[in-house]
Structure 1
């Protein structure tokens, strides 16, 4: 029984900072079939093999463990996950240290969202099979999703000590180093990891012919999280790492291209390659790479400054050496900045490597804490309301329409939903519910027109806008690009009011893909 890395890629909302890499998927392959109905054929072959295994397992056999594992994997492949889970539990009761059983069970638990349980299972695999690199890689993948970079790094490095050419370990270590700001070393690991491994196909669990979709990504992060957007019961998704793809090989079969490369500041090289790849095909493309290339933070502040009802923050790239020097504060003053200012390392999201510098005396210390030879200096837009709380709205722009996604309210200047005061404050949740229920009434005509204007300038099929409102109802623009996450809340009654808005946004993506492919 072949072992494999779990199918989770690093292009999903489980890792909200979304550092990219294609974790190659290797499931039990369906038995090939022939005939006109190729969509149904693989599923029929899987079900036929499953019936065959049921008969074989009634006989005494020496290969019973391999057959039981194959059966459990097939149950998962045809979307009978609970049955697959019970099957793996039964196997591990009899063979608690079997590597393939532990490895495949960990992959299933990961697919089901039981991340803590998957980590425990992979830890057991490592304990009993320390010389197998796959256990280290699978555990490291999950640690990286949880932003536990040092723990993930340790396991990726352990895997590479066992197998110096392990492609997936190089991909993962590259992602860790990119997140830590060690981008030169990250590029070398990406080169080793994606060389001849720039394409991977995710499992498809539907029972009808899938829609073949090509997803373009960047190796170094800055990708749109798409696991909630691309249903594996409907789409068979092939991931192509643009900046490591040999274009002479030709594109894999596809009916639509979803360009998931979203960060223009971080992924310019990948977007340039993606633009050339898109030019080779006549299929519909969601988020034209050329349009994404125009959405860097600095360019956005200039392009969107002229949109009525929008206030953008002055943004400028400044060399670290200058900011850290004795004349750093004077250099900022000469460029029109006054304290407090924001400092940000390009290419990071969710508030990572992002600081508020309240006064000139704090500048050197703030610069020292941020990675990168060049930092973004950003004008501080005061997003605090009359109650003293800072607010950040998020609206998605999908196929030209606006969809409210969330409102985060916090006492801190750095407002992110997962660190805000929403869970503890029912009044904040009530305010958010009103926004989700009737966005135009809450934001007002001026802001709604401004958001529509932002969408028109961006020219993206899928994007998001993070903003606040000033006292005059204008949009204080924090960020707008394609990398915005649509994430479902935890299964908690407090968040019941959020589900309808999130489902509307997800349905809009599905409808957009259906419309484009039908056309």
Structure 2
């Protein structure tokens, strides 16, 4: 087994040699830093500005040599939790000491942008984001086309919720360095997260033209094509994207010991976007793509397992693979695959439609060939589904491959345009207000408790917050603020009882409910499962009223994960 530390591959030796190697590396780093701090002034009195890059290169080389001892001992056993903590502490020590050394070098000549760029990376590793922001901005002020700064700063902003700013930086990286594929991949990853699948596909395609072996571009392309409904093309990218790349890391950033987590995901998609829900200053997460992980390989060290494979209609194979991996560990599990399996749309319609105060649309999974045939009307009548109705390709979200059919004459054309051998047919629920606008609430549940996330209004029946009328309608924002501040008063006791019943019936540790409120206080249920996304609002004053509600959800997730991990 190996781990990457400071861009060096390090083997895990026996416990005693490992501890000695860590102590030796730490000592060498301390010696290096002390010398640099002591000699920085004298060094720069005699150094010409042109020599500074050479000084920086020497610093990095000495730093790498300080860690070389960790590579010397052959592998003898699998990494233990204690050894993982030691290595994590070494990385934190390494970053802190390197930052101190770079502080001295920069103080002697603050205009050297490569030293500032290097320090920004060290600050990010310590969770000192605001200081890293200042260094990245200083670098880009001197060199607006600095490729690594544009991408590293963009990734930091993206990971911390500043998606618009990140997009600007990634776009600049692509514009100024059109022959470097990493910029296209970063921009495509951001677009993929924003459900702009056509644009993401285009940028992944460009990256693969520049480097056809780039695994991350193949991975992203597989997700984009799958969302666009081209499953055959998506499948062709999975093997080069995931084979041999089945384990990734969400690193720990900051002081103190990390809680090690194991995150199970699916290569096909349908995963909860869980990374930003975990505090990188607390957790170190090993992320496994369940379908491609070698079952003979020991699992990475962990105190808790989080299953983010969440779409029961799409990810049957991923759930099967995740369940096989769970058999290898006694650790507790958040959102076990057994809890995810019965949360498909038809299963939910059967389970949740019998709950008091819950209205679920009549639904059926019907072969597409039958929906475009002359007998389609009789088939729908047998299912007691009339017009208007909704057609959906199973396994898609954010409104993809989801259409409304208002009259029988439009059914065949609508069904024929959707991907998949069978389509989900649902009776349309009327969620309009007196102005004719449609509305949708989202309530999250974490560890058995309900949390309001948002309320959106739209003149389109397909209500999504990012495309709703909320930005332009202050009266709707006021209604949302009232909901976020006092959900029980806004929804009423009947709806709150129904929401709690849905939460208890599903039994998930983490999930969400999308619904409208009927005139008599019933829940008009659209969706309830673990696929729900929680994002921090953009950095705009008009969304200030939403921030506390989002932070309450994030705090609840963090508290649940810590509690489960520490009780293991």
What range describes the TM-score normalised by the shorter chain of this pair? 0.7 to 0.9
| Structure 1 Cα separation of the partners of residues 519 and 169 of structure 2 | 53
How far did residue 87 of structure 1 move? 3.1
Q: How does 1:7-156 map to 2 (within 5 A)?
A: 38=86, 39-55=88-104, 68-92=116-140, 99-126=147-174, 129-156=177-204
Distance change >3 Å, CA 44–CA 419, structure 1 → 2: same
Q: Does 1:439 align with 2:487?
A: yes
Between stretches 124-133 and 204-213, larger displacement belongs to 124-133
| Structure 1 Cα separation of the partners of residues 388 and 149 of structure 2 | 55
| Structure 1 Cα separation of the partners of residues 372 and 541 of structure 2 | 48
| Structure 2 Cα separation of the partners of residues 312 and 389 of structure 1 | 20
Q: Does 1:423 align with 2:471?
A: yes
| Structure 2 Cα separation of the partners of residues 161 and 388 of structure 1 | 48
Between stretches 33-42 and 509-518, larger displacement belongs to 33-42
| Structure 2 Cα separation of the partners of residues 119 and 474 of structure 1 | 41
| Structure 2 Cα separation of the partners of residues 120 and 486 of structure 1 | 22
Which residue is 1:166 aligned to? Answer: 214
Local SS of the residue matching 1:402: strand
Which residue is 1:479 aligned to? Answer: 527
Local SS of the residue matching 2:299: coil
Q: How does 1:258-273 map to 2 (within 5 A)?
A: 258-273=306-321
Q: CA RMSD in A?
A: 2.9
Distance change >3 Å, CA 396–CA 122, structure 1 → 2: closer
| Structure 2 Cα separation of the partners of residues 53 and 160 of structure 1 | 36
Distance change >3 Å, CA 3–CA 102, structure 1 → 2: farther
| Structure 2 Cα separation of the partners of residues 97 and 167 of structure 1 | 25
Query: Which whole-Å deviations, capped at 9, do the CAs of 1:406-449 have from their partners, x for residues lacking one?
Result: 22233332222223333333333333333223322332322222
| Structure 2 Cα separation of the partners of residues 191 and 254 of structure 1 | 27
| Structure 2 Cα separation of the partners of residues 150 and 380 of structure 1 | 28
Local SS of the residue matching 1:70: helix
Q: Does 1:461 align with 2:509?
A: yes
Q: Is the 8 A contact 2:159 2:276 kept in 1?
A: no
Q: How does 1:367-378 map to 2 (within 5 A)?
A: 367-378=415-426
Q: How does 1:221-236 map to 2 (within 5 A)?
A: 221-236=269-284
Q: Is the 8 A contact 2:483 2:490 kept in 1?
A: yes
- Long gaps (5+) in structure 1: 5-27
Q: Which has the larger radius of gyration?
A: 2
How far did residue 262 of structure 1 move? 1.1
Q: 2:264 aligned to 195, 216, 221, which one?
A: 216
Q: Does 1:452 align with 2:503?
A: no
Which residue is 1:254 aligned to? Answer: 302
Q: 1:364 aligned to 386, 396, 412, which one?
A: 412
How far did residue 313 of structure 1 move? 1.3
The structure with the greater share of residues assigned to helix is 2
Distance change >3 Å, CA 384–CA 211, structure 1 → 2: same
Q: 1:202 aligned to 247, 250, 268, which one?
A: 250
Which residue is 2:377 aligned to? Answer: 329
Q: Is the 8 A contact 2:446 2:553 kept in 1?
A: yes
How far did residue 65 of structure 1 move? 7.1
Distance change >3 Å, CA 78–CA 316, structure 1 → 2: same
How far did residue 472 of structure 1 move? 3.0
- Long gaps (5+) in structure 2: 8-59, 71-81
Between stretches 282-291 and 495-504, larger displacement belongs to 495-504
| Structure 2 Cα separation of the partners of residues 329 and 413 of structure 1 | 23
Q: Is the 8 A contact 1:171 1:193 kept in 2?
A: yes
Between stretches 384-393 and 442-451, larger displacement belongs to 384-393
Task: Choose between structure 1 and 2 for higher RCO, CA contacts under 8 A separated by at least 6 residues.
Answer: 1
Query: Which whole-Å deviations, capped at 9, do the CAs of 1:318-348 have from their partners, x for residues lacking one?
Result: 1222212333333222332111111111111
TM-score of the two chains, using structure 1 as the length reference: 0.86
TM-score of the two chains, using structure 2 as the length reference: 0.79
| Structure 1 Cα separation of the partners of residues 264 and 414 of structure 2 | 35
Local SS of the residue matching 1:164: coil
Q: Is the 8 A contact 1:329 1:363 kept in 2?
A: no
How far did residue 126 of structure 1 move? 4.3
Q: Is the 8 A contact 2:204 2:217 kept in 1?
A: yes
| Structure 2 Cα separation of the partners of residues 160 and 395 of structure 1 | 40
Which residue is 1:244 aligned to? Answer: 292
Between stretches 273-282 and 32-41, larger displacement belongs to 32-41
Which residue is 2:45 aligned to? Answer: none
Query: Which whole-Å deviations, capped at 9, do the CAs of 1:337-385 have from their partners, x for residues lacking one?
Result: 1111111111111222211111001112322332222211011122234
Local SS of the residue matching 1:352: coil
Local SS of the residue matching 1:294: helix
Q: Is the 8 A contact 2:303 2:566 kept in 1?
A: no
How far did residue 237 of structure 1 move? 1.7
Distance change >3 Å, CA 124–CA 414, structure 1 → 2: closer
Local SS of the residue matching 2:478: helix
| Structure 2 Cα separation of the partners of residues 98 and 387 of structure 1 | 51
| Structure 1 Cα separation of the partners of residues 507 and 272 of structure 2 | 16
| Structure 2 Cα separation of the partners of residues 259 and 514 of structure 1 | 15
Q: 2:241 aligned to 193, 214, 224, which one?
A: 193
The count of corresponding residues between Structure 1 and Structure 2 is: 492
Q: Is the 8 A contact 1:263 1:482 kept in 2?
A: yes
Between stretches 475-484 and 418-427, larger displacement belongs to 418-427
| Structure 1 Cα separation of the partners of residues 223 and 162 of structure 2 | 23
Between stretches 312-321 and 436-445, larger displacement belongs to 436-445
Query: Which whole-Å deviations, capped at 9, do the CAs of 1:455-495 have from their partners, x for residues lacking one?
Result: 12111011111112333322221110001122222333433
| Structure 1 Cα separation of the partners of residues 172 and 438 of structure 2 | 45
Which residue is 1:516 aligned to? Answer: 564
Query: Which whole-Å deviations, capped at 9, do the CAs of 1:301-325 have from their partners, x for residues lacking one?
Result: 0111222222211211112222123
